[in-house]
Structure 1
């Protein structure tokens, strides 16, 4: 009896043959994580398992997760990944987006917790930044532009002032390079400060009493717990930014800027690690425009999971990330003098100078 369903034979054997026959370092290079973390994901993402049918066997759960991780960690097109794993290119795309949705549903509340302002989390972060050299800090904020291909009707909004199309990943990052809060999807033409002012993070920082309750007397000034950012942000009592550049800057001002820059490096490193590990977003996202936010969020969650599992970035991953597009730089030239905020900044500047001496 002739077959009623036609199925094309595919011969990619990367998962079945190459992966088992190679070393643990080959596994990590291929899937951007150690086998232990991979098995952790397999154990938690049972929802991705498919049943066999009368017509064909389903792709095993482990292989589905491997396909998604390889795609996220590679700059290869869907067709190249499909040939490697012996599946159709549209299957790779489908598996990737199913995987990202499952990661968000399963892990978001655990590894991208909305409770980043709990007493325990605040105390941990303040202690961590104190060791880096900046007191009373809960995290650093910044925006990262990710290249996209928007629909023609919306392209003008996503055209940033470096001349390419992007969406913004805005994030609060703690002392361990973990994403505490992310805001994804703002158009590339938006300023980081504007994104922050309109975010739920800004509202929480302004209304959560714990940041003021845990204030500390530094050089005679009650200093609340603050965020730190670059010159693009609006200076306030809850957001410290560098002193403007001046050839006549005092020793206190230079020391403050140095310590803030050193502490703020956590957010730059987090973005660098994210794009180096997951080259799929580092190289720019494809035309799956409406699904881009879920892919970016899933990568942020995976970044936090790997951070918790102490998975290090391979040196050659960082080298490849240096070829990415130059990020738009933003400088807020408006006058934002704030006397109470200036008292706090001056107190921290004096503290930093006394500590470094």
Structure 2
């Protein structure tokens, strides 16, 4: 200090004035920077410090786990054993180290809060009171946990088939369950609705007047996702979504499929009017000028295609974050979608393999058809969406009529097959 004073005494008059002016400017800049900044009242709120006392994870979940397993499954969307299995996989990726200032949030708390967010779509500010964790902390690690879930589950539960045997197994299931031979998947696409992303303008603005990213998926005969593409902005046309996907490139280049052996019918994917007619992608005949044979084809295709509708419906019913307009960044929304699809397959696999005492999908959850009357009993997910907001909106129908002669010939070939050697007894009840 003495040195500073002495050096200041040696300054000339002009230099002293400049020094004083610099001090004043620095003070004004600091005052402007501090203006409006609220002073932190405390490092951590008292009710957050008492997380062990107030948190649902510390109190309610152990009680449900030990005395009410059914309610535990409804709350977490899975059994406790399944929760432990996922926790074991993701813990190395999401557990942080403790510091001298605070203890890191345990990995099981992070996973529980993330699963509850996926199950309900509750706002982060509401979740903070249920788990005694600040909302800004929740918003920071939910993308991290969702990404960890997807990365850990995708290899075994959300993997695109890459061998003839795997594709043949899917085709056999479609033939035996839905009477559609040589089908290797049902394709569908949905708009995942968002609140308007910051500074995005109309980039994510879709034809329904909302903001969204697009989820494109291929579903097998057992309501499982075998391919998922998410992230295209909702403004992109339906044809653009498909053409910009990696699945389109793979299909154009050719899949590793087994030899054709069913009446020389090629392997195909089934879809609705939102997609173009391709050699590998069958869609219904247009409603105008339908004859009996084409009605039969449309009916048989709709039976196989319905699995994709039900898969999306079950996904939104189990993970009701899809029944809200997600108030998150688009990058976070993509991770939420991928994690939810991976969890859907994980839980579906456990149900199919009878690894759990819980049924992820019951008969009443999906559409049921009475083959004697062709009446459809709608699945429970349709009834739920009819009375509430559904955040998964359909893609618009394709407006292009351009298709190759080969694609049209293949569709006619399937039409002929379904009306002759591939017929089922109840299909003739279709009305003209």
Provide the TM-score with structure 1 as the length reference: 0.89
Deviation of 1:313 (Å): 4.7
Which whole-Å CA distance do the structure 2 matches of 1:58 and 1:317 have between them?
39
State yes or no: 1:125 paired with 2:170.
yes
Matched residue, 1:269: 310
Check the 8 A contact 1:155/1:165 in 2, yes or no: no
CA RMSD after TM alignment: 2.3
State yes or no: 1:101 paired with 2:147.
yes
Deviation of 1:328 (Å): 4.2
State yes or no: 1:347 paired with 2:392.
no
State yes or no: 1:324 paired with 2:324.
no
Higher relative contact order (CA 8 A, sep 6+): 1
Larger radius of gyration: 2
State yes or no: 1:312 paired with 2:360.
yes
| Structure 1 segment 79-98 matched on structure 2, within 5 A | 79-98=125-144
Deviation of 1:152 (Å): 5.4
Matched residue, 1:283: 324
| Structure 1 segment 1-357 matched on structure 2, within 5 A | 6-10=43-47, 11=50, 12-22=54-64, 23-47=68-92, 48-114=94-160, 116-131=161-176, 132-151=178-197, 153-208=199-254, 210-211=256-257, 214-218=259-263, 222-246=264-288, 248-310=289-351, 311-313=359-361, 319-322=383-386, 323-325=388-390, 327-354=393-420, 355-357=423-425
Alpha carbons of structure 1 residues 280 and 142: separation in structure 2 relative to 1, 3 Å: same
Which whole-Å CA distance do the structure 1 matches of 2:74 and 2:318 have between them?
10
Check the 8 A contact 2:189/2:394 in 1, yes or no: no
Report the secondary structure of 2:396's partner residue: coil
Deviation of 1:327 (Å): 2.3
Which whole-Å CA distance do the structure 1 matches of 2:147 and 2:394 have between them?
30
Q: Could you list the per-position Cα deviations for residues 322-357 of structure 1 after superposition, in whole angstroms to 9, with x for gaps in the alignment?
A: 422472452223323433222322222232234213
Check the 8 A contact 1:273/1:318 in 2, yes or no: no
Which has the higher mean CA deviation after the structures are superposed, 182-191 or 152-161? Answer: 152-161
Check the 8 A contact 1:112/1:180 in 2, yes or no: yes
Report the secondary structure of 2:185's partner residue: strand
Q: Could you list the per-position Cα deviations for residues 182-211 of structure 1 after superposition, in whole angstroms to 9, with x for gaps in the alignment?
A: 111111122333211222211211222534
Check the 8 A contact 1:32/1:73 in 2, yes or no: yes
Unaligned runs of 5+ in 2: 1-41, 352-358, 366-379, 426-432
Report the secondary structure of 2:222's partner residue: coil
> How many residues were matched structurally?
347
Report the secondary structure of 1:142's partner residue: strand
Deviation of 1:137 (Å): 0.7
Provide the TM-score with structure 2 as the length reference: 0.74
Check the 8 A contact 2:194/2:213 in 1, yes or no: yes
Check the 8 A contact 1:138/1:225 in 2, yes or no: yes
Which whole-Å CA distance do the structure 2 matches of 1:121 and 1:53 have between them?
48
Which has the higher mean CA deviation after the structures are superposed, 260-269 or 280-289? Answer: 280-289
Check the 8 A contact 2:271/2:305 in 1, yes or no: yes
Q: Could you list the per-position Cα deviations for residues 124-159 of structure 1 after superposition, in whole angstroms to 9, with x for gaps in the alignment?
A: 110111121111110111211011134454331322
Check the 8 A contact 1:160/1:328 in 2, yes or no: no
Matched residue, 2:355: none
Alpha carbons of structure 1 residues 205 and 17: separation in structure 2 relative to 1, 3 Å: same
Report the secondary structure of 2:192's partner residue: strand
Alpha carbons of structure 1 residues 339 and 35: separation in structure 2 relative to 1, 3 Å: same
Alpha carbons of structure 1 residues 103 and 329: separation in structure 2 relative to 1, 3 Å: closer
